[in-house]
């Protein structure tokens, strides 16, 4: 059997992995974790190929020729709500030309799989790419497969089930991916691989769908085996694709202490303000971590509490602790919460400008698929369940508060310029880029951000 792991083409580049779709804000892209995990689970003896058409910046025509040239029997493809029309057109043509079975994953597959039922060329929907019940399907056996939806006649048979237990999926086939195409805006080296120590998130923030993904930790031994293989390939940095690092404090410390004895790769991760502290941040630094991304979201404590985020730790204290540990930081903010006012947004912009963070990412509030916010909007009739418009947190297009969407977009742009206009911050950014690759990434992505991507 021949299997093609596919990330369809998209311009501008769309990030589709881990059930979250959005347009990249600048010139960065990471290895899709969904395809990596599946590459580890496809049985030996199967002919596996990878086509990351977005990372390779292929046109739809060029990507289709490459995909057809692989002559796949089974295509495992990412899709995203923000690029769904183009994704489905591409897959329909691919299925028509090759006769391959088409299976899809991504935010639509995880949270609204029913929207894919009318697309008769889709043979399977994989809501959770880590589910062990997929193993028979990946081996070409439909009868014993679970954790998915399978085409039966005109409809999709729902075989979903809730997974449990520790993850151990083996070593992904990083060698099949176009590694040189992957880098982060702040990365010190190139290429940057993607790895994972846990799947899902135990928190239920209203604006985010990650809490709908069942949290499961990965075996540390399994992770370390992959770490050694990736390092042996000459890769010097990885992005830890955990949705929230530090959920299990002891597991995080164990990972850091294990990596501290190796120190073969630098890495970065995402965390909450309340899942890291001075001790863990110091251990992360010793383990090779050079940057941590932290969700601040808003300066308004009432908005944070209303969204399920909680007022939690004071952001300024956590960012100072990270700096003392020698870590760079990136702060995430959201503009346009349903309860936002012009005044609360302005306080968030001011907070971002004054925060001791090296980088900042400003996102527009959107009703993400699977989020509690979207469910509330659908229940109130403000959003249709099938409405997939205006879901890109980079471009927005819809206001959920009393401020016009155009004003929110302008405010986001102003917030970016305000944050990066401080000479001391710019000097600090160039001071931290101690490698040629780091300097190149900084200049390339800085230009993209400042020019309005």
- Rounded CA separation 130/105 (Å): 11
How far apart, in Å, are the Cα atoms of 228 and each of 68, 241, 243, 286? 34, 17, 22, 17
Q: Is the pLDDT of residue 263 over 70?
A: yes
Cβ density class 405-414: b for 16+ within 10 Å, e for less: beebbebbee
- Rounded CA separation 55/51 (Å): 9
Do 141 and 208 belong together in one domain? no
pLDDT digits (tens, 9 = 90+) for 89-145: 999 999 999 999 999 999 999 999 999 999 999 999 999 999 999 999 999 999 999
In which element (H, E) is residue 86 found?
A: helix 84-98
Do 151 and 199 belong together in one domain? no
Domain assignment present for 166? no
Do 98 and 191 belong together in one domain? no
Domain assignment present for 428? yes
- Rounded CA separation 81/370 (Å): 11
Domain boundary, last residue among 123, 158, 193:
158
Domain assignment present for 319? yes
DSSP H stretches of helix in 204-363: 220-232, 249-260, 278-286, 301-306, 315-324, 342-354
Do 97 and 194 belong together in one domain? no
Do 153 and 50 belong together in one domain? yes
**Cβ neighbours of residue 12 closer than 8 Å, sequence gap 6 or more:** 23, 24, 453
How far apart, in Å, are the Cα atoms of 432 and each of 28, 290, 329, 418, 426? 18, 10, 11, 20, 10
Among 361, 374, 301, smallest CA distance to 335 is for 361
Do 212 and 144 belong together in one domain? no
**pLDDT (0 to 100) of residue 311:** 60
Q: Give 383's DSSP letter.
A: S
Do 132 and 278 belong together in one domain? no
**Cβ neighbours of residue 419 closer than 8 Å, sequence gap 6 or more:** 352, 353, 360, 362, 425
What pTM did the predictor assign?
Answer: 0.95
Q: Is the pLDDT of residue 25 over 80?
A: yes
Averaged pLDDT, 337-345:
97
**Residue 446 near residue 381, CB atoms below 8 Å:** no
Averaged pLDDT, 234-246:
98
**Residue 302 near residue 339, CB atoms below 8 Å:** yes
How far apart, in Å, are the Cα atoms of 9 and each of 39, 95, 394? 20, 16, 18
- Rounded CA separation 186/205 (Å): 26
List for the chain the helix, strand, coil content (%; round to 5).
40, 20, 45
Give the total number of structural domains in the chain.
Answer: 2
Domain assignment present for 398? yes
Do 242 and 387 belong together in one domain? yes
In which element (H, E) is residue 110 found?
A: helix 107-111
Domain assignment present for 165? no
CATH number at residue 86: 3.40.50.280
Averaged pLDDT, 409-416:
96
Do 153 and 302 belong together in one domain? no
pLDDT digits (tens, 9 = 90+) for 342-361: 999 999 999 999 999 999 99
Write down the mean pLDDT value for the chain: 94
**pLDDT (0 to 100) of residue 169:** 98
**pLDDT (0 to 100) of residue 453:** 52
| List of E strands, 117-159 | 124-125, 149-152, 155-158
Do 6 and 107 belong together in one domain? yes
Domain boundary, last residue among 158, 173, 197:
158
Domain assignment present for 374? yes
**pLDDT (0 to 100) of residue 431:** 64
Among 17, 135, 35, 112, smallest CA distance to 75 is for 35
**pLDDT (0 to 100) of residue 312:** 52
Q: Is the pLDDT of residue 433 over 90?
A: no
Do 368 and 418 belong together in one domain? yes
pLDDT band at 434 (very low <50, low <70, confident <90, very high): low
Do 200 and 119 belong together in one domain? no
CATH number at residue 266: 3.80.30.20
Domain assignment present for 88? yes
How far apart, in Å, are the Cα atoms of 70 and each of 5, 8, 48, 50, 55? 10, 14, 9, 9, 18
Domain assignment present for 178? no
* Distance between first and last Cα of the chain: 41
Question: What tokens does 19 get?
Answer: 């059930």
Among 104, 88, 107, smallest CA distance to 151 is for 104
Domain that holds residue 9: 2-158
- Rounded CA separation 64/8 (Å): 9
Domain boundary, last residue among 97, 125, 158:
158
- Rounded CA separation 219/109 (Å): 26
**pLDDT (0 to 100) of residue 119:** 98
Among 329, 333, 276, 346, smallest CA distance to 304 is for 333
Question: What tokens does 238 get?
Answer: 């990885």
**Cβ neighbours of residue 432 closer than 8 Å, sequence gap 6 or more:** 328, 358, 438
């Amino acid at each position: 059997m021949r299997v093609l792991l596919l990330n369809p083409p998209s311009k501008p580049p769309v990030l589709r992995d881990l059930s979250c779709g959005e347009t990249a804000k600048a010139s960065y892209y990471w290895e899709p974790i969904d395809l990596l995990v599946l590459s580890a689970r496809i049985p030996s003896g199967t002919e596996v190929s990878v086509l990351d058409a977005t990372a390779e910046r292929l046109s739809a025509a060029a990507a289709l020729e490459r995909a057809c040239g692989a002559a796949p029997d089974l295509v495992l493809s990412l899709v995203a709500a923000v690029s769904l029309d183009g994704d489905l057109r591409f897959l329909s043509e691919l299925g028509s030309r090759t006769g391959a079975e088409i299976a899809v994953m991504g935010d639509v597959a995880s949270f609204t799989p029913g929207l894919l039922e009318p697309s008769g060329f889709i043979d399977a929907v994989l809501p959770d790419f880590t589910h062990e019940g997929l193993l028979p399907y990946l081996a070409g056996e439909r009868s014993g497969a679970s954790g998915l939806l399978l085409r039966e006649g005109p409809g999709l048979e729902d075989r979903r089930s809730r997974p449990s237990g520790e993850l151990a999926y083996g070593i992904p086939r990083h060698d099949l991916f176009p590694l040189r195409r992957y880098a982060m805006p702040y990365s010190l080296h190139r290429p940057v691989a993607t790895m994972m120590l846990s799947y899902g998130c135990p928190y239920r923030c209203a604006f985010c769908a990650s809490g709908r993904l069942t949290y499961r930790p990965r075996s540390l031994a399994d992770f370390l085996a992959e770490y050694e293989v990736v390092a042996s390939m000459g890769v010097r940095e990885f992005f830890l694709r955990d949705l929230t690092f530090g959920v299990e404090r002891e597991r995080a410390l164990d990972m850091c202490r294990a990596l501290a004895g190796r120190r073969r790769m630098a890495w970065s991760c995402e965390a909450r303000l309340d899942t890291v502290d001075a001790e863990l941040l110091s251990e992360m630094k010793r383990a090779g971590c050079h940057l941590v991304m932290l969700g601040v979201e808003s300066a308004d404590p009432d908005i944070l509490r209303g969204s399920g985020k909680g007022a939690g730790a004071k952001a300024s204290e956590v960012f100072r602790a990270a700096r003392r540990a020698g870590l760079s930081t990136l702060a995430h903010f959201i503009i346009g919460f349903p309860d936002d006012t012009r005044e609360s947004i302005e306080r968030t912009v001011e907070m971002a400008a004054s925060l001791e963070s090296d980088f900042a990412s400003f996102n527009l509030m959107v009703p993400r698929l699977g989020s509690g916010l979207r469910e509330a909007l659908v229940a109130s009739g403000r959003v249709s369940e099938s409405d997939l418009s205006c879901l890109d947190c980079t471009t927005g297009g819809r206001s959920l508060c009393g401020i016009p969407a155009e004003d929110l977009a302008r405010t986001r742009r102003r917030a970016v310029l305000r944050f990066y206009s401080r000479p001391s911050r710019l000097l600090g950014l160039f001071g931290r880029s101690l490698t040629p690759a780091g300097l190149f990434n900084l200049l390339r992505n800085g230009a993209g951000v400042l020019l309005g991507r």
